[in-house]
C-alpha cells in the first residue's frame, strides 16, 4: 500500500489532533517551568486554583475570557476567508475610541442601557473602519494584508497616544486618559447574577458585555455556516480561484470579511472601557488582540472552539496572576510563552503529528478489516 495517509475520522481530525497539539504546547510550557526551577505540577495546581478556586477568580477569568472571545472571533472570521488579520490589537484600540465617544456623549444624561447600544455601534464602526484600509489595499492594490495590518497596529498606537494626550485628557490632568464616565457609561457587573447562583465574585469586573460576546458567537456561527455570504466567505478561503469561477467577487468578500473581523475586534473595547475602568486609557488592549490569534487557532475557527479556548486563556491570565503572586519566579510573562507555544504547535506545526496518527489509524483499521475478513471466511 502506498498511501498510509488514510483519511481520518472527523472526531480525530477536529478533536484528537488539536488536543494533541495543545497538549504538546502545555508539555513544553511545563518544561520551561521546570527549567527555571519550579515544580510544573505545583504550578498547574496554583494556576487552576487561582482561576477557578474561588468566586473572584472565576469572575476575573470570565472578564478576560470576554476579551478573548471577541478577538478570537475576529481572527477566526478572517481565517475562513483565507485572510490573516494580525491587526486585531489595533482595531480593538481604535474601537475603544468609538466606545469612549459614545460614553462621553451620553453618560451624564442617559442610563447605561441607552449608552450601551450606541457604544456597540461606535465600537463596530471604528473597529471596522480601521480594518477597512488594509482590506481595501489587499483587495484592490494587492498589498499583503499581514504586513499592512501589522503596520496599522503601530499607526493605531501612535494615533491613540496623540489623541489621548492632545484631545481627551481632561484639563489640568497630565494622565493620557479620558475623564471617568458617570453612571450612564458603566455597564452592570455580573455580581448580582452570580449571587443568585450562590457565588460571590467579589470585586471582579465581569460584566454584561460577556453576553454581547456570546451573542457575537451565535452571530458568527449563523453568518459563516447558515448564510449565502458565509458560504461565499468559506468558498473564497478554500479556493479563491474556484470562487471567482463561481461568480464570487474576491474584492467584495475580502472587504466584507475584514469589516466583520474589525468590528468584532473593536467590540472587545466594550469590556475593559465600559465594563471595568469607565474611561479610555493608554494601551488598554494589553495584547488581547494577539491572544485572539492563539484562541482562533486553538478553537479551529469555530465559535464553540473559540469560547472554549477563550475561557482557557482567561484561566491562564487570571490563574497566571495568582501564580505569579505565589511563585515570583514564574512571572506573568509565562502566559505569553504559553500563548507562543499554542500558536506554534496548534498553528505552524499543526500537521506535525498527523502522519503518525494517520499511520496508527491505518494500522488499526487494517487489522480490523483483516479480522472482519477472517470472520467472513470462518462463517
| Residues within the interface to another protein (CB under 8 A) | 32, 36-37, 84, 86, 133, 137, 141-144, 146-148, 150-152, 154-155, 158-159, 161-162, 166, 290, 293, 297, 328-331, 333-341, 343-344, 347-352
Using the minimum distance from each CB to another protein, give the nearer residue, 200 or 333: 333
- Residues in Cβ contact with 17 at an 8 Å cutoff, skipping those fewer than 6 apart: 8, 350, 353, 354, 357
- Residues in Cβ contact with 247 at an 8 Å cutoff, skipping those fewer than 6 apart: none
Using the minimum distance from each CB to another protein, give the nearer residue, 234 or 354: 354
Q: CA 343, CA 152: separation in Å to the nearest integer? A: 22
Least Cβ distance, residue 204 to another protein (angstroms): 25
Among 71, 73, 65, which Cα is nearest to 220's?
Answer: 73
Among 14, 45, 33, 17, which Cα is nearest to 338's?
Answer: 33
Using the minimum distance from each CB to another protein, give the nearer residue, 34 or 215: 34
Q: CA 254, CA 78: separation in Å to the nearest integer? A: 9
Using the minimum distance from each CB to another protein, give the nearer residue, 228 or 351: 351
Q: In degrees, to the nearest 5, what angle opens at C-alpha 314 toward C-alphas 86 and 216? A: 60
Alpha carbon separation from 267 to 119, 274, 319 (Å, rounded)? 9, 11, 25
Using the minimum distance from each CB to another protein, give the nearer residue, 191 or 289: 289
For the chain, counts of helices (H) and of strands (E): 17, 0
Using the minimum distance from each CB to another protein, give the nearer residue, 92 or 216: 92
Among 220, 214, 199, which Cα is nearest to 263's?
Answer: 220
Least Cβ distance, residue 238 to another protein (angstroms): 15
Classify residue 184 by its DSSP letter: G
Least Cβ distance, residue 280 to another protein (angstroms): 16
Least Cβ distance, residue 63 to another protein (angstroms): 22
Do residues 95 and 123 touch, judged by C-beta distance below 8 A?
A: yes
Least Cβ distance, residue 289 to another protein (angstroms): 12
Using the minimum distance from each CB to another protein, give the nearer residue, 112 or 168: 168
Task: Indicate the angle between helix axes 55-80 and 228-238, nearest 10 degrees.
Answer: 70
Least Cβ distance, residue 88 to another protein (angstroms): 12
For 361, the grid coordinates are 489509524
Least Cβ distance, residue 65 to another protein (angstroms): 19
Using the minimum distance from each CB to another protein, give the nearer residue, 102 or 139: 139
Least Cβ distance, residue 371 to another protein (angstroms): 32
Least Cβ distance, residue 89 to another protein (angstroms): 12
Do residues 347 and 18 touch, judged by C-beta distance below 8 A?
A: no
Using the minimum distance from each CB to another protein, give the nearer residue, 268 or 346: 346
Q: CA 20, CA 300: separation in Å to the nearest integer? A: 13
Q: CA 96, CA 7: separation in Å to the nearest integer? A: 45
SS3 207: strand
Amino acid at each position: 500500500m502506498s498511501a498510509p495517509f488514510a483519511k481520518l475520522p472527523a472526531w480525530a481530525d477536529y478533536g484528537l489532533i488539536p488536543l494533541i497539539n495543545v497538549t504538546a504546547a502545555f508539555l513544553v510550557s511545563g518544561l520551561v517551568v521546570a527549567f527555571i526551577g519550579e515544580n510544573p505540577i505545583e504550578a498547574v495546581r496554583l494556576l487552576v486554583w487561582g482561576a477557578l478556586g474561588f468566586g473572584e477568580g472565576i469572575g476575573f477569568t470570565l472578564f478576560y475570557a470576554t476579551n478573548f472571545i471577541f478577538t478570537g472571533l475576529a481572527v477566526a472570521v478572517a481565517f475562513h476567508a483565507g485572510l490573516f488579520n494580525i491587526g486585531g490589537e489595533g482595531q480593538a484600540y481604535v474601537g475603544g475610541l468609538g466606545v469612549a465617544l459614545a460614553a462621553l456623549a451620553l453618560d451624564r444624561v442617559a442610563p447605561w442601557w441607552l449608552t450601551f447600544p450606541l457604544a456597540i455601534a461606535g465600537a463596530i464602526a471604528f473597529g471596522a473602519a480601521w480594518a477597512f484600509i488594509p482590506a481595501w489595499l489587499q483587495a484592490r492594490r494587492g498589498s499583503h494584508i499581514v504586513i499592512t495590518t501589522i503596520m496599522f497596529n503601530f499607526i493605531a498606537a501612535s494615533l491613540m497616544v496623540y489623541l489621548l494626550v492632545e484631545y481627551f485628557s481632561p484639563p489640568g490632568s497630565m494622565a493620557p486618559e479620558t475623564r471617568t464616565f458617570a453612571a450612564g457609561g458603566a455597564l452592570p457587573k455580573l455580581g448580582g447574577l452570580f449571587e443568585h447562583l450562590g457565588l460571590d465574585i467579589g470585586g471582579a469586573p465581569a460584566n454584561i458585555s460577556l453576553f454581547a460576546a456570546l451573542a457575537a458567537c451565535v452571530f458568527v456561527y449563523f453568518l459563516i455556516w447558515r448564510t449565502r455570504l458565509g458560504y461565499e466567505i468559506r468558498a473564497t478561503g478554500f479556493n479563491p480561484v474556484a470562487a471567482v469561477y463561481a461568480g464570487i467577487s474576491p474584492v467584495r468578500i475580502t472587504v466584507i470579511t475584514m469589516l466583520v473581523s474589525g468590528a468584532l475586534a473593536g467590540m472587545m473595547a466594550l469590556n475593559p472601557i465600559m465594563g471595568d475602568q469607565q474611561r479610555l486609557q493608554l494601551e488598554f488592549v494589553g495584547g488581547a488582540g494577539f491572544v485572539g490569534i492563539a484562541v482562533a487557532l486553538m478553537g479551529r475557527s469555530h465559535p464553540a472552539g473559540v469560547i472554549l479556548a477563550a475561557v482557557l486563556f482567561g484561566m491562564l491570565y487570571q490563574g497566571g496572576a495568582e501564580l505569579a503572586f505565589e511563585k515570583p519566579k514564574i512571572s506573568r510573562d509565562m502566559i505569553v510563552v504559553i500563548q507562543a507555544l499554542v500558536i506554534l504547535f496548534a498553528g505552524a506545526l499543526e500537521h506535525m503529528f498527523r502522519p503518525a496518527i494517520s499511520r496508527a489509524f491505518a494500522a488499526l483499521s487494517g487489522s480490523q478489516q483483516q479480522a472482519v475478513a477472517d470472520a467472513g471466511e470462518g462463517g
